[in-house]
Structure 1
Amino acid sequence: MAIPSIDVPRWDGPLPTRDEAAKMIDHSLLRPELTPADILAGLATALAYSTASVCVRPTDVKAAATALRGTPVAVGTVVAFPHGSGTTPTKVFETTELIALGADEIDMVIDIGRLRAGDTAFTQDEIAAVVEAAAGRPVKVIFENSYLTQEQKVAGYRAAESAGAAFVKTSTGFADGGATAQDIALMRRTVSPAVQIKAAGGVRTLDALLELNRLGATRFGATATAAILDDVEERRRLLDVR
């Protein structure tokens, strides 16, 4: 099911530079139909705009690491994506293998059903196991917020922080809901400043990115990277004209 773009008022605050905005974006290359040529084109886009990272499918990590070696663009990838249904040992194995192939950042999906059942100890232990396997690399924990109650979200975010996660993340972008302003605000209230927030799912405009950044998100999974960053350039050009 397609996730609608986030409906936000037009941003009227200070504009970041294009480079500043680019460092908030993980350029997403996760759709199942992408061909090797599509992946290479996506990597070229990320490199041209100097995004914080690309987020690629596990099968594309080796190619991405080769193409981006020596550049400022990090290679991110996903574990147990998109359903989170793998066992903890499987998630640990995936993490270890993907780091060996060149991944710099790991976005893992929790076992959503176990958190919904109230088993926060399992959630924390699972995240901690992946964090350990990541050996110091940032782990971003995906909660798929649209499936969770507010109480389940809060419990999950706290478990992620206790387990050593670097980020809490709203969604995979493949469920029936993505990032919302309400969830970003809740995440920011729940975790300490030591934990960052990644918004994913429906962040397709500069206004959406800026509004969610104002609420506390510091990283964004996006496929509309070029459009968002070109909009920054155009708005800054118009401001300079005035």
Structure 2
Amino acid sequence: MKKEELYRYVDHTALKAFTTWEEIDRLCKEALLYHMASVCIPGCYIKKVHEVYPDLSICTVVGFPLGNCNTAAKAAETRQALADGAAEIDMVINIAEVKNGNYEAVREEIRLLKEITKEHILKVIIETCYLNEDEKIAMCQAVTEAGADYIKTSTGFGTGGAVLSDVKLMKKHIGPNVKIKAAGGIRSQAEMEAMIAAGADRIGTSSAITMLEAGEQR
């Protein structure tokens, strides 16, 4: 694929705890320059980014990175993010409830956040590195039944990131209205293209420019 096409799949990401405004500002300028899908940023920066870059699609994270805060906290975080100008929400599921076998609780939490986001995009991070295959399949079903827009592989802060076999598994088990976001540990243009070929509709990465411009030089 041409790099111009690949950039359109990218949620340009900066989520480290020590990310400064200078870094966020540069991220936004790059996202606009390369026509990326969105910037994925911490909630504390949404309002300022929306004011400075009103035409930029803003994605943020909720319940991040562990997912084990209560549902009311995730709901409040989502409402505030949308009020501040976010267009897309990437929520982390309660992984402990998956391990407890309480899939219904996970599904209903996703459903609640989708009711809040309404026409805005809701992506559901299932953190595949902590789940076995049966749990991954169960989460594909939960995301589909709850009406979310995307299932997402990883936070990038767990013990592992996006794996091609997981994207293929998701593609097989999600419903027709659910898309896939691969994120975490994608380090080359070849990996990006492989994820997209396997079914990914978005790529979450902080390294898109490094990967794609290096590919151009080669």
**TM-score tier (shorter):** over 0.9
Of the three residues 66, 77, 83, the one matched with 1:83 is 66
| 1:190 and 2:173 matched | yes
CA distance in 2, matches of 1:193, 1:205: 28
Higher radius of gyration, 1 or 2 = 1
Which residue of 2 is the match for residue 156 of structure 1? 139
Q: Does 1 or 2 have the higher relative contact order (CA < 8 Å, sep 6+)?
A: 1
Listed as ranges, the matches of 1:107-126 within 5 Å are: 107-126=90-109
Amino acid in the other structure paired with 1:48: L
Q: Give the aligned length.
A: 218
| 1:65 and 2:50 matched | yes
Q: Counterpart of 2:124 in 1: which secondary structure?
A: strand
Structure 1, unmatched stretches of 5+, are: 1-14, 236-242
Of the three residues 30, 36, 39, the one matched with 1:51 is 36
CA distance in 2, matches of 1:187, 1:231: 30
Structure 2, unmatched stretches of 5+, are: none
TM-score, normalization by structure 1: 0.87
**What's the CA shift for 1:63?**
1.7
Amino acid in the other structure paired with 1:213: I
Of the three residues 122, 133, 158, the one matched with 1:175 is 158
Which residue of 2 is the match for residue 34 of structure 1? 19
CA distance in 2, matches of 1:103, 1:146: 27
**What's the CA shift for 1:113?**
0.4
Which residue of 2 is the match for residue 142 of structure 1? 125
Of the three residues 171, 195, 198, the one matched with 1:215 is 198
Amino acid in the other structure paired with 2:49: A
In 2, are the aligned partners of 1:204 and 1:223 still within 8 Å (CA)?
no
In 2, are the aligned partners of 1:27 and 1:223 still within 8 Å (CA)?
yes
**What's the CA shift for 1:232?**
5.5
Amino acid in the other structure paired with 2:152: K
Q: Deviations over 1:141-173 (max 9, x none)?
A: 001111111101110111011101100000100
**What's the CA shift for 1:31?**
1.0
CA distance in 2, matches of 1:106, 1:203: 21
